[in-house]
Every structure is written in C-alpha cells, then in structure tokens.
Amino acid sequence: MKFLHKKKQFFALLLLLFVKSLYAQQTSEILLSKLSLEEKERIVIGSEMEIPWSEGGDTGVGEVGGNVPGAAGKSLANERLNLPVVIFADGPAGVRINPHRASVPDKTFYATAFPVASLLASTFNTELMRQVGKAFAHEAKEYGVDILLAPALNIHRNPLGGRNFEYYSEDPLLSGKMASAFTNGVQSLGIGVSVKHYAVNNQETNRSRINAIVDERALREIYLKGFEITVKESKPWTVMSAYNKVNGVYASESYDLLTTILREEWGFKGFVMTDWFAGENVPQQLKAGNDLLMPGTPNHKNMIVNAVKKGLLTEKELDRNVKSILDIYQKTPSFLGYKPSGTPDLKASQKIAKETATEGMVLLKNDENTLPLTINKSQKLALFGVASYETIAVGTGSGNVNMAYSTSLLEGLEKKNLFIDNSVKEGYVEYIEKTKAALPPKAWSFGPDKILPEKKWTSEELDVIAQKTSMGIFTVNRTSGEFYDRQQGYDFYLSKEEQTLLKKISEAYHKHHKKMVVVLNIGGVIETNSWKKDADAILLMWQGGQEGGNAVADILVGERNPSGKLPMTFPIQYMDHYSSINFPGKELVDNPYPSGTVGVKSEVIYEEGIYVGYRYFNTFNVPVSYPFGFGLSYTDFEISKGDFKTTKDGKLELSCWVKNIGNKAGKEVVQFYISSPEVELEKPTKELRAFVKTKQLKPGEKQEVKVILNATDYASFSPKRSAWILESGIYNIEVGNSIDHIFFKETFKRNELLEVLKTTKSLVPKREISVLTKKSK
C-alpha cells in the first residue's frame, strides 16, 4: 500500500510539473496576444529608455518600482498587464550593486567579492565552481537581482587583454567547463545568467568598433567552443552579444551568430541581450535574434514601432523576440513574486570565497622547500611591496564588487601569529598614506586604478633588515579592467623600480643565507623569466577576492597545500605570443583623441588561427617561463595507467590511478591531452580534452580517476566539409599534471574518417585571410 501511495504521489507531482510547464507556455502566448505593438516595444528595450542615465547612482538605476541601486539595468514594467520589473546585475566576481539604499539608511547591502575568473579557472575544480555559482545566486536572490551578467568566458588571446581577469583561460575546454559549472550552480537556485561576451570579444581597445576577422576553423575550435559547451551543458537563460564585429558584421546584428549557430545548431532556448549600447542597426539586431536592447536609450522610443510600420521589421519577427524574453522572465524571482530578504548568508559565501581562493593559488617555484613557513617565536618576516599591505582583491569596471572588507597579506599573516618586522611595516604604512594623498581623485568609477610606485630601499637598509629577520616576502601587484587594455612597460614587465628592489632584497637575504619569496597579486600574465632565479619561492595568489589575504596566509604557513594549475601560458617575452604581432589591431581612420569608451573603425586579423596559447607554444617549440597546466604542491603525486577502451563511434573510456607519494595531504589535477593525426587538417601537437581534480589525498592514499570522451569531445573542425571530423590514423592520449609533465600515454588507431557533426556554412570571412600554419612558420 505504501508503494502504491508513493507511486500516486510521484505521478501527481509529474502531472503538477507538466501543468505548470504548460501553463507557463500558455501564459507567454496569452500575454503576447494581449500586448499592443507599443507594449511589445517596451518588452524588448531596457528601462533607460525612460530614465536619464544620471539618475539612481553610478549606473543610473534608482530605487523606484522594484529597482536595485547599482544594478546594471532592468526591464520596463507593464502596469496594465501587471508585468513586474526584472533586475540585471554585473557578476563576474560577485553581485555588483550599491551597498547603500536611501530607503533603508541603517542597513548595508554589501556583496561578497569572490576571486577573479583567472583564479577560479586555476582550481580546475568544476564541483567547487558549482558551489561558487550557488553562492552568487543566493546573494543575488536575497538582494533582489534576477539575472547575473556572468559568466564571462572570452579567450585569453593575448596577455594584454584588459579583461582577461574576468575570463577563465586561453583554452576553450577549460573555459567552457568552468562557465558551465558556474551556470548550473547559479540557475539551480532560480537565478539566471547571461553568458558573455558572445563572441570574439578579446580586447578592450576600440571594442565597440573593432572588426575581428577570424577564419572558420579558429572560430569554431577556439572562440565559439566554450560558449557551445556552456549552452549545451547548462542551458543558460540568456546570452549577451558582444560589442565587436565578427567578420564584418556586428555580433548583435549577426543572424549567423545569434540564430543559425546559437539557436539552430546548439539548441539555445533563452534570449539574447546586447552589451550596453552595442550595435548600430536596431531592426537588424532584432531580426538577427538579439531580443533585448540594453540598457535602452531615449532614442529607442517609437523606433521599433516605426520600423514595423515601415516594413523594416515584421511583427512576427518582433513577436519571436518578445516571446523569447517572456519565456525566461516567467522563471525569475520577480515574476514568481519572491520577496528578497536583503540579508543573504554572507558568512557562508565568505567561506566559499576563501576556499576557492585557496584552491586556485598556484605555486610556481619552491626551491629547497622554502615554503611552507614555520611558525615559531624565532621566525620574523619582512613584508616588502605595497601589495603586501594593500592587496588587490578584484579588477575594475563591471568586474568590480562593492565589498564590505578586503583582507591584505599582512592581515592574513598576522592572524597566524607570525611576527612581522615593525620597522618595514611602519615604513610602508607611512609611504602608502603619503603617496595616496598626493594622487588626484579617480575621474570615474569605471576608470583604471592607479598602482602606487614601489617604495625605494637602499642596499644598506635592506642588509640591516635581512640580518634581523628570517625571511623576506615581496608582493608584486597589477590591476586592469574594462575599457582599457594593458601595456607592456610597467604592466606585463616589471618597472625598473620593481626590478631593482626585487634584486636588492634577494641579494640581501642570500648574503645572510636566508630565503626570499615573491607573491604575485595579479589578474593576468606578467613576465617572470628574467627575475624568477632571484626568488627561492614564487606563489601566484592572483586577485583572490575579499578573503585573498587569509587564503594566501593559509598557503604560506602550510595549513593548506597549493593545488592550483595555470589556465594559461606564462611566456618568456611578450612578443613570444604570436597574437602579439597584431594585438590590438589597426585603426582604419585617424584617431587623434583615443578613448577607452569611444572606439573608432578598426580591424584585427587573427593571424594565429587555431594556434592560441599553449597550442602555439607547444606546436612550434617556443620556450616558455611556465607552461599551461603547471602548478607545484607541497607533496608529490604519481599517476599510473588504468583501463582504456575505444569504440567505432569514437567513444573513449579511460581511467588512471593517482597516488600521493609525498608526506603531506593534497589534491592533484589530472590532465588528459590528445594528439590527433593529420590527413586533411593540420593539428596542434596536443590539446586538452578532459581534466579531473582529485579529492584531498592523504600521504599514501590513491584515487581512481575516470573520464569518458565522446567523438565530439576531441573532433576537429573542417571548413571544407562544414563538419566536425575525426580523421583516420594514430591518436595519442597523454596523461599528466601539466602539458609538459606527462606520466603515461595510450594509443589507438582509427581506420577511417568519421564525420561526427555536420554544421552550417556560417561566419565566413568576407575576404581571404592568411593564417599561421606549420608550413608558413
């Protein structure tokens, strides 16, 4: 009887879910039938159409009618049909809203600043990313936000990309898997995401006018692949189209990009929104499948109504846009009547933020077990570098977060009861205070932060400090953000002052047979090869969010074992990156007044083709400072062969064993690379095709790791066939813990070509372009 009762309950639940789904679908269609042409226009345009940009705080969003101060944008309400306002907020590193609201002056609305995406990717931990997504969603929901403008997963094409810190990796698989896990975490709590910036938005210079010219194969394999993985594996509610043109057409006006590929090939069911103020031809944006125009401008009022009346846009096409939006809006907390508490569990979020920061830090060097530090009364540290005292948590622009606090490296180490030399500390505190006071105020909130020049120390002063302290720690910092790409001098490269200070500290401590550690508080790649010999240990802490100082302290003292791996290559010189030949492209008109916000007509040809990041360095044997996937541990691991099976349809099943052969507990990242045969297509030497992070393994403990790859997971794109294919020949699977450290190989042979997945002929460059090949190099 109990079984029958449970069975009835189960079928009743299924019926209820079916009825709810059917009701939602009918509601969307019924609403559409009730909307006038003018009301349809209001659905596809953001609220700024009716609100001056200057109102409501730094982003123009006020507090009236369901608004959230500081949110990036919102929809327009429809009082006649009782349609509520939907709120959108930036979110690459946390929910970016204002911490104060005039209506409740005694309450704060700080959001948690999580680590930047470069660090998140360095965890190589998709389960942890799901937890991060859930934490983001929880705060968004309780603060009244419906849709997060995240994740951002453009490719690290070049080290100087100003928003690389918001993006995950130079590798599309890693990017897609991390973004997919984050999306699944967010949307499991009923909050939507907007996957951005679709597509080929890999620079800030002239981003609103640049024409990115990319060959079909590079588009499919590198710049669209991460988006494809995310759309297929996590079904994001929305996608944000990019500012730039792709092969001559603005992304927000590209039918190929937004309808043919995104919807018809990949099965996307949500809606597409523009990046803020993007595109030029509004009717073409809507026809292409860009459903929502954000944030909306006063000029948009009546523009769409008139376009329909003039035949530039059919009402049927507009109805498709409106329905796509309404189908998603009905899932939002605002439409479901959820009442946000304004009091999310920030303590829980902070715990996840710290855990993530700890797991994503990368140990680049550790000679003679310099780290971890020993905590005792005789140990005294000297902290050098402005960033030791003012550690950068996140980047600027829409990747910034209004956080309640940010922990410095100094604060983190002092909590561990380590003795910090007071004379050095006082010298920096005084220097920072005076230097900051002399700086002019920031011109606008989205502008770049000013990195303070390093304090100068004489060799004599450093010698005295080195004699009375046990170790020197020098923290190097960098910042970047929206609107501005980075520079080579004093950004990618150390400044002369930094080089001099680092060298002097090293000489002073080594003179007294003591160690010197460098900590990198950065968001993107910098040059390391010229100075890494001077440091005994190097820890890449990235920009670790508000808990960064506490997390790096845990690593330095050995309470946690570093397990992060590099999600991008650290080159020896900037020009070693092939993309540096043409980054950030060329301007096609005179530009006497360059601006971060106003672009000019320009173009950039992706001459490197598929050879981005490690695919270039590894294939063309270009030496690097640190390779993709690299990261040391305080223990050692051994990876050995397990089972291996293949099928005719291209499916691979592979397992291996990971054993901790050291004397400390830790985690390892197993990386699976495949080298493919060259018949019709040339291939990179090897490509990352899967990765798994182990659990925490005790000394002597081992874990079996299994992966299953379908043919689509390691196929290559053939422009000639407009299809993903597996060619005949020998395939090598290499398993290791970085691209340059392989433990074992498996080999299998395909006797014939397999056409895995047919595609359309889309986004073809309008002119023939020459891209890098093994023969041309």
Which CATH code of 3.40.50.740, 3.20.20.300, 3.40.30.10, 3.30.310.50 fits the domain covering 24-329?
3.20.20.300
- Given a cut of 80, whether residue 3 has pLDDT beyond it is no
Task: Tell me the pLDDT tens digit for each residue of 623-678.
Answer: 999 999 999 999 999 999 999 999 999 999 999 999 999 999 999 999 999 999 99
* H-assigned helices in 310-345: 315-329
| Per-residue CA distances from 382 to 244, 248, 470, 534 (Å) | 47, 55, 8, 17
In terms of Cα–Cα distance, which of 773, 750, 569, 743 is closest to 659? 743
Residue 10 has pLDDT above 60, yes or no: no
CB-count burial class (<10 Å; 0-12, 13-18, 19+) for 138 = buried
Is 418 within 8 Å of 374 (Cβ atoms)? no
The predicted model gives 25-36 an average pLDDT of 85
Q: Domain coordinates of the chain in residue numbers?
A: 24-329, 350-566, 635-758
Q: What are phi and psi of 36, to 5 degrees?
A: -75, 170
Residues labelled as active-site residues: 275
Residue range 212-234: average pLDDT?
A: 98
What are 629's two structure tokens?
Answer: 């996937």
Confidence of residue 690 (pLDDT cuts 50, 70, 90): very high
Structure tokens, 668: 């390892």
Judged against a pLDDT cut of 80, whether residue 60 lies above it is answered with no
Q: What's the topology of domain 350-566?
A: Rossmann fold (3.40.50)
Measured distance CA(425)–CA(147) in Å, rounded: 43
Handedness of CA 315, 317, 321, 327 (dihedral sign): positive
The answer, yes or no, to whether residue 505 has pLDDT greater than 80, is: yes
pLDDT band, very low/low/confident/very high, at 374 (cuts 50, 70, 90): confident
Query: In CATH, which of 3.50.50.60, 1.10.3720.10, 2.70.150.10, 2.60.40.10 is domain 635-758?
Result: 2.60.40.10
Residue 461 has pLDDT above 50, yes or no: yes
Q: What is the pLDDT of residue 59?
A: 35
CA distances from 346 to 108, 342, 663 (A): 12, 11, 35
Do the bridges between strand 245-246 and strand 271-274 make them parallel or antiparallel, or are there none, so unpaired? unpaired
Where residue 51 falls among pLDDT bands split at 50, 70, 90? low
The helix (run of H) or strand (run of E) holding residue 584 is none
Tokens of 455: 């304090």
pLDDT tens profile 250-306? 999 999 999 999 999 999 999 999 999 999 999 999 999 999 999 999 999 999 999
Confidence grade of residue 11 (pLDDT, cut at 50, 70, 90)? low
Nearest residue to 320 via CA among 366, 288, 357: 288
Q: What is the pLDDT of residue 376?
A: 84
* Distance between first and last Cα of the chain: 75
- Cis ω for the linkage preceding 438 (within 30 of 0): no
Q: Tell me the C-alpha to C-alpha distance, in Å, between residue 379 and each of 470, 471, 475.
A: 6, 8, 19
CA–CA gap between residue 667 and residue 562 (Å, rounded): 8
Could you tell me the maximum CA-CA distance found in the chain, to the nearest angstrom? 88
Residue-wise burial string across 172-201, b where 16 or more C-beta atoms lie within 10 A, e elsewhere: bbbbbbbbbbbbbbbbeeebbbbbbbbbbb
Helix (H) or strand (E) holding 114: none
The H or E element that residue 476 is part of is: strand 471-477
How far is the C-alpha of 523 from the C-alpha of 538, rounded, in Å? 16
Query: Which segments of 396-482 does DSSP mark as H helices, in order?
Result: 409-414, 422-437, 459-468
| H or E stretch covering 748 | strand 741-750
Gap between the Cα atoms of 482 and 22, Å rounded: 42
| Helix H or strand E encompassing 76 | none
Looking at the DSSP assignment, which residues form a beta bridge with residue 227? none
pLDDT of residue 594: 82
Average pLDDT over residues 115-128: 98
Q: Is the pLDDT of residue 15 over 60?
A: no
| 3-class DSSP assignment, residue 492 | helix
pLDDT value at residue 446 = 83
Contact 148, 91 (CB under 8 A): yes
**Residue that the structure tokens 């005179």 belong to:** 590
Neighbour tally for 752: CB within 10 Å: 9
User: 586 - beta bridge partners?
Assistant: 603
10 Å Cβ neighbour count for 232? 15
Tell me, what's the pLDDT at 65? Answer: 43
Given CA atoms 185, 350, 141, 196 in this order, what sign does their dihedral have? negative
Residue 7's pLDDT is 52
Structure tokens at 296: 């909306």
Q: How confident is the model at residue 8, as a pLDDT?
A: 52
Cα-to-chain-centroid distance, residue 33: 40
Residue 26 pLDDT: 55
> What are 405's two structure tokens?
């606090």
DSSP state of 139: H
Task: Provide the pLDDT for residue 375.
Answer: 82
Can you tell me which residue has the tokens 């042979």?
749
Crossing angle between the packed helical segments 2-34 and 315-329, to the nearest 10 degrees: 140
Of 93-97, 375-379, 410-414, give the lowest mean pLDDT range: 375-379
Question: If you count DSSP H runs as helices and E runs as strands, how many of each does the chain have, helices first?
Answer: 18, 29
Q: Using 50, 70 and 90 to split pLDDT, how confident is the model at 9?
A: low
Per-residue pLDDT at 67: 83
As beta bridge partners, residue 363 has 539, 632
The answer to whether the beta carbons of residues 431 and 438 sit under 8 Å apart is: no
Confidence tier at 226 by pLDDT (50, 70, 90): very high
**pLDDT at residue 318 in the model:** 98
Lowest mean pLDDT: which of 9-23, 134-148, 271-285, 373-387?
A: 9-23
Residue 102 makes CB contacts below 8 A (sequence gap 6+) with 63, 69
Percent of the chain scoring above 90 in pLDDT = 89
**What mean pLDDT, rounded, does the chain reach?**
94
pTM: 0.95
pLDDT at 105: 92
